A and B are shown apart, each in its own frame.
Chain A
């Protein structure tokens, strides 16, 4: 999927602090490098700063201190338009709550993922159909979210994240709203996408899920307390 060499860093966090108005110090000096094509889990209990990590890694929020590089660009030097464009092409988001547009078919939901790339609608729909095929929902293109099971909805959301061929899928508790059987299917799907070359970063509170990933980063009280990167660094099998 990505033409990037495996040593290319998609995300690089250096000395990242995040303080919220009101005094909450959510991240306290985080360093994190995520290579292209890598699969990892950021795991931690609630209150550990996971959500803040999602927002900082996803460039939806800026750190109070420290630097964030996305695909080699220091995001503090980018304007809203540039950063939005870079975000759209580099990161595909998957959320716990799916965030599908109701009253819109699976195909159009997925196509929404490419709205801001400037592709013509016909091309977007063609890519959306291909992305739905990739997640095994080629037969559900015309179904609306309310006609789909929870697992199927999350697959649609994964397809939407895939439509721009991102270097990294950023999944926030992707199985948080699913039963354990469906959870396994979604993790399998992410594993499969990783095998095809897409980077996957899963943020979760579940050590069980994290254990299925080649690399685990443990977050506690806004600090990284463990990172198995030393043992697993490099291209996946």
Chain B
């Protein structure tokens, strides 16, 4: 065991990886509360980033599913204003003309009715509650891909009867109207035959009472010209159709026609959300940097507090490098634990949030792993200075304090 001649190679000290891990975890275990608190800083940073990314991807998944369900091949043609600022109605024939465009699959139109809807005759006439009345074609629901919350749509009602289908918001604002009840539209009683689910593509109709065209014409003198014409096209031809719609719907005043794509509004919501996501990610990154500083701080204190351990370990045969490895390992372990906790917490937050909003839980499994990786990286950066400081400490100074 003993080297007797100076020429024999000396058995050098070694520090096995397993022993580094044991020494590092032992150091943390000796001061658990402080370890937990400093790891918490990293955990919060990682959790917030994972949660932000997870919530963003969950709501995007929801949006894509919605668009998929509703279809992006719907176009809306609305009457607009002429060059001189006059309101220009769509011609009565516009529906028929648009239907003649090849790739158009279906059309339906609505016309605003100059009337207000109330729960009963006792309501003061000024309080419309922001609710509108629209006359509509019987196949409107089909073209909009809408669904009924309860009851039936206009297509099942015998023509000429004063019946109405309420949008989701309208039914709620009128005081929880259900099919079978009656509402009053400009002193006329209308039987409610159905209530719609919210129409994601055309939210304006949510706060409207929809009545059959014929009834509106007879009772309120509503024009048969559409105010808004909804057009379903074959998906591949949507741009081409969009290009000719204005001229087809109103050949005399194509400039007074507005063509829009309702699904664009939903996509715009996504764009807004990703701006927010970027902002929140930046905040998460700041939290992470602060967490890293916390770890560096705690490790510097640990090095000072554990001078005697450093001196002892040097006496037991640790080289300077072993000492630095131990403290470096401790910093990495600390932030790694924080990262792992933060990753789990972040995924948990996404799961709870998505479930509570009935969104799909869509999180890239790489995100929490990348979070742990980022945490380890931060711990490595934070651990360099304390580790070097521990290694530089002379064993005699360390033992004397």
Contact = CB atoms under 8 A, between A and B. Distances in A.
A84 B318 contact: yes
A6 interface: no
A167 B1 CA distance: 10
B323 to A, nearest CB: 10
Nearest to B14: A118
B12 A81 contact: yes
Given A61-B396, A115-B23, A116-B322, A101 B309 contact: yes
Contacts of A167: 2
Contact count band on A = 35 or more
A174 interface: no
Interface in A92-112: 93, 95, 97, 99, 101-104, 112
B26 A104 contact: yes
Interface string A1-45: 011100010000000000000000000000000000000000000
A85 B11 contact: yes
Interface in B291-329: 308-309, 311-322
Given A72-B5, A73-B6, A121-B18, 8 more contacts: A4-B2, A72-B4, A80-B319, A86-B11, A89-B317, A101-B309, A115-B15, A117-B13
A78 B18 CA distance: 27
12 contacts: A58-B315, A60-B311, A72-B3, A73-B6, A82-B12, A85-B12, A85-B13, A90-B2, A95-B399, A116-B316, A117-B13, A118-B13
A87 interface: yes
A86 B10 contact: yes
B335 to A, nearest CB: 22
B3 A86 contact: yes
B212 interface: no
Contact of A116 (B2, B13, B26, B400): B13
Contacts of A165: 1
A88 interface: yes
A61 B394 contact: yes
Nearest to B20: A115
B315 A87 contact: yes
A142 interface: no
Given A72-B6, A88-B317, A60 B11 contact: no
B16 interface: yes
Contacts of A89: 1-2, 11, 317
Given A87-B317, A99-B312, A74 B6 contact: yes
B19 interface: yes
A51 interface: yes
B341 interface: no
B123 interface: no
Given A72-B3, A89-B11, A99 B318 contact: no
Contacts of A49: none
Contact of A60 (B5, B14, B30, B314): B314
Contact of B395 (A61, A117, A121): A61
A231 interface: no
- In the A-B complex, list the 7 residue pairs whose CB atoms are closest, starting with the nearest: A88-B317, A116-B317, A118-B14, A85-B12, A84-B13, A85-B13, A116-B13
B204 interface: no
B184 to A, nearest CB: 79
B308 to A, nearest CB: 5
B1 A60 contact: no
B279 interface: no
Contacts of B5: 72
B283 interface: no
Contacts of B315: 58, 60, 87, 91, 93
A192 interface: no
A63 interface: no
A115 B316 contact: yes
A82 B14 CA distance: 10
B149 interface: no
B316 A60 contact: no
B202 interface: no
Contacts of B161: none
